């Protein structure tokens, strides 16, 4: 399922078939849409759509094209609208020096006014920036303490510009232009943007993705954007769908309730062990990852529409002592969901269960600190996928976001875990040549941790 984080369904171009189109989105794989406003009237219309359809959310704001006629009283009106529970952002707001439909000094003043509004109502901002990078950045930097998060919508800048916005805590949203035949910058951005800061959108009715360019755009085309990003990054489209869905929920603080048809597998039994599937996110792109080919293991579909809460998993586990082990594994890197993992592990230990984490060992790199002390007393085994005996071979095989630093970071993590976890194991898959397996074994011995050669066919050993 996909989340279109930006579509103007209130636009006149949807006048004739809006209801049919919106009702049909679920069948096209699109579960949710955010409809931003660009005038007072369209902000009102966005709210009406959010009231009419459970899977539509609204943002309210005045687009830079329209700020010349904006009145101070409009800020009060927007503030009142923002109190409606399904208004999830202030937007779209920002600067547009390409069309210059409003004088630039007015654009800047009204951008700041609407940032201050976002600050007062505690909502993130949806930013439009066209040919106005320097001023957009300056205004955001000057007001960063007031801004409760935000997204650079339909981002068209360079990778360097993207990094400036990422450093300010912003998300980056990509739309149809990433699919265009002449696309350059969006492709570079799609390759470089950290997955946990990526959103997808259509900006409907504009910017229709290839191969439908020229037609009216609508949210049902957002899977094409995800598909292109998946191709660029060499990852499954399901992962792009899941990660961007979750990122959108996180940024806009949306509590998405699954309907009865959703079949997310948060826990599953293999043999006499219980496996926990906390996330589909991962900092690696291993060549041998089962996710490249399959939807899951043992008949379970492990792609998630959303990530579970700790309490949901605890409820599903029930009596943990029934299982030989409770294993944090799943279809992604479980330590990315560290707080949930710790809470669940505590609950399992309180029932006398045994716990194991199957991990790629990059948790300290991901969290920017040594997280191993948090395992003390609640994790019995940490099984780290060494996969290769050198940093170069590891990176070639596992394609970590951290480059060749991933290998050393993983070994440091193994060392750190040794102090807090009774059983730490490094593992390799049996497709490695025997001399590489031997070299890997020596690394484990030097670190004073266990070593295991796992069969490639043991599909449950993801990480
Ligand atoms: S095998 Fe494990 S570490 Fe590698 S990409 Fe898959 S989930 Fe991530």
| Whether the CB of 360 sits within 6 Å of ligand 1 | yes
Please say whether the beta carbons of 5 and 248 come within 8 A: yes
* 261 is a domain residue: no
Tokens of 419: 């102090």
Q: What is the CATH number of the domain that holds 28?
A: 3.20.20.140
| Whether the CB of 333 sits within 6 Å of ligand 1 | yes
What value, to the nearest 5°, has the Cα angle with vertex 205 and ends 226 and 243? 25
Q: How many CB atoms lie within 10 A of CB 450?
A: 15
Is the same domain home to 224 and 278? no
Look at residues 346, 419, 423, 343 and name the one whose alpha carbon lies nearest to residue 378: 346
- 306 Cβ neighbours under 8 A, 6+ residues apart: 242, 245, 246, 249, 256, 258, 264
Separation CA 393–CA 400 (nearest Å): 11
Q: What is the CATH number of the domain that holds 445?
A: 3.20.20.70
Tokens of 179: 């699919």
Tokens of 228: 């292109």
171-174 and 381-385 strand pairing? unpaired
Is the same domain home to 177 and 276? no
| Whether the CB of 291 sits within 6 Å of ligand 1 | yes
Centroid of ligand 1 to alpha carbon of 291 (angstroms): 8
Tokens of 221: 């085309």
Please say whether the beta carbons of 41 and 238 come within 8 A: no
Residue at which a domain ends, from 220, 252, 284: 252
Is the same domain home to 58 and 170? yes
| Whether the CB of 332 sits within 6 Å of ligand 1 | yes
In the chain, how many domains are there?
2
Residue nearest to atom 6 of ligand 1 (CA): 289
Is the same domain home to 92 and 184? yes
- Report residue 345: phi and psi, to 5°: -60, -40
Peptide bond into 211 cis (omega under 30): yes
Please say whether the beta carbons of 383 and 427 come within 8 A: yes
* 236 is a domain residue: yes
pLDDT digit of tens for each residue in the chain (463 aa)? 899 999 999 999 999 999 989 988 988 989 999 999 999 999 999 999 999 998 999 999 999 999 999 999 999 999 999 999 999 999 999 999 999 999 999 999 999 999 999 999 999 999 999 999 999 999 999 999 999 999 999 999 999 999 999 999 999 999 999 999 999 999 999 999 999 999 999 999 999 999 999 999 999 999 999 999 999 998 888 889 989 999 999 999 998 765 544 567 898 878 888 999 999 999 998 888 888 877 777 767 788 888 899 999 998 888 899 889 999 997 899 999 999 999 999 999 999 999 999 999 999 999 999 999 999 999 999 999 999 999 999 999 999 999 999 999 999 999 999 999 999 999 998 888 999 999 999 999 999 999 999 877 544 445 5
Separation CA 118–CA 113 (nearest Å): 9
| Whether the CB of 132 sits within 6 Å of ligand 1 | no
Largest CA distance in the chain: 74
| Whether the CB of 232 sits within 6 Å of ligand 1 | no
Is the same domain home to 198 and 294? no
Is the same domain home to 34 and 168? yes
Domain range enclosing 71: 2-252
Centroid of ligand 1 to alpha carbon of 332 (angstroms): 6
Please identify, by atom number, the ligand 1 atom nearest to the C-alpha of residue 283: 8
């Amino acid at each position: 399922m996909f989340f279109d984080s930006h579509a103007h369904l209130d636009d006149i171009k949807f006048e004739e078939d809006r209801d049919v189109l919106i009702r049909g989105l679920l069948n096209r794989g699109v579960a949710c849409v955010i409809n931003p406003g660009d005038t007072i009237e369209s902000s009102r219309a966005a709210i009406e759509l959010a009231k009419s359809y459970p899977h539509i959310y609204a943002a309210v704001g005045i687009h830079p094209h329209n700020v010349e006629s904006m009145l101070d009283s409009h800020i009060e009106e927007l503030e009142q609208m923002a109190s409606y529970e399904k208004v999830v952002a202030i937007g779209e707001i920002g600067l547009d020096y390409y069309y210059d439909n409003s004088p630039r000094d007015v654009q800047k003043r009204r951008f700041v006014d609407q940032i201050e509004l976002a600050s007062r109502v505690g909502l993130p901002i949806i930013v439009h920036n066209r040919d106005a990078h320097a001023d957009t950045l300056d205004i955001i930097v000057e007001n960063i303490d007031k801004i409760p998060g935000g997204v650079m919508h339909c981002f068209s800048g360079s990778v360097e510009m993207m990094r400036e916005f990422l450093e300010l805590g912003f998300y980056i949203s990509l739309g149809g232009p990433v699919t265009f035949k002449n696309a350059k910058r969006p492709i570079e951005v799609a390759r470089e943007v950290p997955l946990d800061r990526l959103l997808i959108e259509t900006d409907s009715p504009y910017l229709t993705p290839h191969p439908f360019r020229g037609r009216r755009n609508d949210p049902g085309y957002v899977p094409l954007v995800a598909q292109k990003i998946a191709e660029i990054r060499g990852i499954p489209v399901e992962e792009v769908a899941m990660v961007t869905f979750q990122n959108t929920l996180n940024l806009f603080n949306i509590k998405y309730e699954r309907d009865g048809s959703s079949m997310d597998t948060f826990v599953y039994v293999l043999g006499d062990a219980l496996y926990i599937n906390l996330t589909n996110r991962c900092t690696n792109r291993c060549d041998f990852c089962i996710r490249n080919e399959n939807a899951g293991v043992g008949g379970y579909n492990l792609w998630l529409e959303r990530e579970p809460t700790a309490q949901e998993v605890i409820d599903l586990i029930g009596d943990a002592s029934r299982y030989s082990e409770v294993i944090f594994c799943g279809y992604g890197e479980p330590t990315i969901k560290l707080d949930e993992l710790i809470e669940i592990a505590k609950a399992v230990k309180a029932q006398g269960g045994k716990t194991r984490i199957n991990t790629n060992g990059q948790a300290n790199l991901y969290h920017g600190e040594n997280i191993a002390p948090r395992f003390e007393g609640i994790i019995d085994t940490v099984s780290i996928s060494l996969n290769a005996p050198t940093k170069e071979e590891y990176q070639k095989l596992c394609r970590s976001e951290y480059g060749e630093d991933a290998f050393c970071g993983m070994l440091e993590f193994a060392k750190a875990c040794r102090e807090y976890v009774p059983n730490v194991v490094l593992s390799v898959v049996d497709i490695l040549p025997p001399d590489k397996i031997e070299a890997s074994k020596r690394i484990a011995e030097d670190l004073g941790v266990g070593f295991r050669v796992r069969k490639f066919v043991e599909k449950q050993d993801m990480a």
